[in-house]
Structure 1
Amino acid sequence: MHATPSRPDSLADGKGRLARRGMLAGLTAAAVLVPAATASAAPRQRRHPAGPTIQAVASATGIELSTQAVPAGPLTLSVSTSEPKQQPLGLIRLRPDTDLDTFLVHYKTAATAKDPAVRRTALAQIDSEAHYFGGAAVTSASGTVSVSWILAPGTYHLINYTAADPARPETGIRELRVGPPEHRPVQPWAPTQVIAPYDDGADGRFLTASVLPAKGTFQVVNHSAQLNEVMLYKATAEADAETVTACMEALRQGKEPALFPFTGLPTGLTPLSPGASAVFSLSLEPGRYLMTSFISNRTTLTKRAFEGMWRLVTLR
């Protein structure tokens, strides 16, 4: 089942076709919260503390974790997969009055319902039932992607958005227990670049530099009013404002684009709640990329990418 509210419709496969997939939602909460002014500041040395690292290996049949119990405070999740198909992992924390089974049923409905009214109801439910802290979308080609947060004590869940199924929760969900903090010296995280999804009226935008490091660490701050993500697609030589706009407009209308100006599968940071922040690190091949979000617009139910929430950037 491809119940992935956060993933694209598998945008381009080898034939440039779309495989219809579901769409998720967003809500509130946060990992490292950053003041709004930070998003417009120039990249600089940031001294976020670094704590333990959990190694996560994702597949369609399960999630392997090096540990499921860590102390509160700084935490890094290092995600990899041996599969060519995208494996998008995200960290969530259910609200006290929501159990996992209920959330997964609503999640599946939000991802697969054809009736717009049913989808809106399910999206509103999962928006209110969990906090989304972001995560890593990886393929065998992308290599390891790491995401870091500062977490409070409590019970969290790591979800594979393409494998989450209420009938088989063991394939797409792992519990993470965050215990009392340990008072120990910590090291700073690496310097970061800033990426901030934000709203420009009804449109979605990305506040970031036009040139970013291909091997880098990024502070992402979600300044939009809904759940968002940061996905990077390798652009083709034909990619420019005109060809990307034409492609996204065709996809918005449910048509086959005349040209796909990007290739492969995206990698990046999975759904992050409004007002929340996370740090993620990756190493990609230098070149031009399409930065975008495939989260559904809560009003129109259309993917934000198809409505123009994208930006061409260069990784060096």
Structure 2
Amino acid sequence: MKRSPIPAAVPVVTASLLTLAPAAQVAAPQAPSPSTTSRGRPRQHNEAMLMPVRTGTSLPDLDTYFAAVDAGRYPADSPFSGGPTGVVPLSPGRSVVLTTELPAGKYALVTWVRHLGSGKMYAARGMRALTTVGG
């Protein structure tokens, strides 16, 4: 079966479990993690979710929010203005290409997954980024 080409106007996000960064669109910092082996390969599942954020949202805003969530609190002043678009947690060493239409705007690239050993959220440890889609 031949696949049709992806229209140029449709954002294409490639999410890798090794970096959580969409290729060529945003470079998310890698959090130091005991969940990786000495070869840098993950030993647990992870995900990548794009979530629209409110106007003016900064990385420190995301850090404050995820620190609270990591501690079991869900602040009423969420930085998000809508639900997630992304991929569910994948097994170690797997990757996925997500093709979706997204409204133009600012998004956070996040993971809601917790480290299996420590129970800490990866997003609270710095595995998050902001990016702009379109316009």
Give the alignment's TM-score, normalised by structure 1.
0.33
SS in 2 for 1:233: strand
Instruction: State the number of aligned residues.
Output: 116
1:107-130 superposed Cα distances (whole Å, 9 cap, x missing partner): xxxxxxxxxxxxxxxxxxxxxxxx
Aligned to 2:54: 236
More strand as a share of residues: 1
Structure 1 residues 312 and 193: alpha-carbon distance in aligned structure 2, compared to 1, 3 A threshold: same
Q: How does 1:188-227 map to 2 (within 5 A)?
A: 190=6, 193-198=13-18, 205-206=20-21, 208=23, 209-210=25-26, 224-227=42-45
Question: Equivalent residues in 2 for 1:44-123 (5 A)?
Answer: 51=1
Q: 1:64-107 CA deviation, whole Å, 9 max, x = no partner?
A: xxxxxxxxxxxxxxxxxxxxxxxxxxxxxxxxxxxxxxxxxxxx
- Residue from 251, 264, 274 that aligns with 2:82: 264
- Kept after mapping to 2: 8 A contact 1:234/1:289: yes
Matches within 5 A, 1:29-40: none
TM-score (ref. length: structure 2) = 0.70
What residue in structure 2 maps to residue 310 of structure 1?
128
- % identical equivalent positions: 26
Structure showing the higher helix proportion among its residues: 1
SS at match of 1:247: helix
What are the Cα deviations for residues 269-315 of structure 1, in whole angstroms up to 9, with x where unaligned? 11211111222211111101011111221111233223322111111
Q: Which runs of 5+ in 2 are unaligned?
A: 28-40
Instruction: Compute the RMSD of aligned alpha carbons.
Output: 2.6
Would the aligned equivalents of 1:243 and 1:259 in 2 still touch at CA under 8 Å?
no
Shift of 1:227: 0.7
2:106 matches 1:291: no
Aligned 8 A contact 1:294 1:303 in 2:
yes
Label 1:194 to 1:281 Cα distance change in 2 as closer, same or farther (>3 A).
Answer: closer
Is residue 92 of structure 2 the alignment partner of residue 277 of structure 1? Answer: no
Q: CA deviation at 1:258?
A: 6.6
Greater relative CO, 1 or 2 (CA 8 Å, sep 6+): 2
CA distance in 2, matches of 1:290, 1:259: 15
Q: Deviations over 1:128-157 (max 9, x none)?
A: xxxxxxxxxxxxxxxxxxxxxxxxxxxxxx
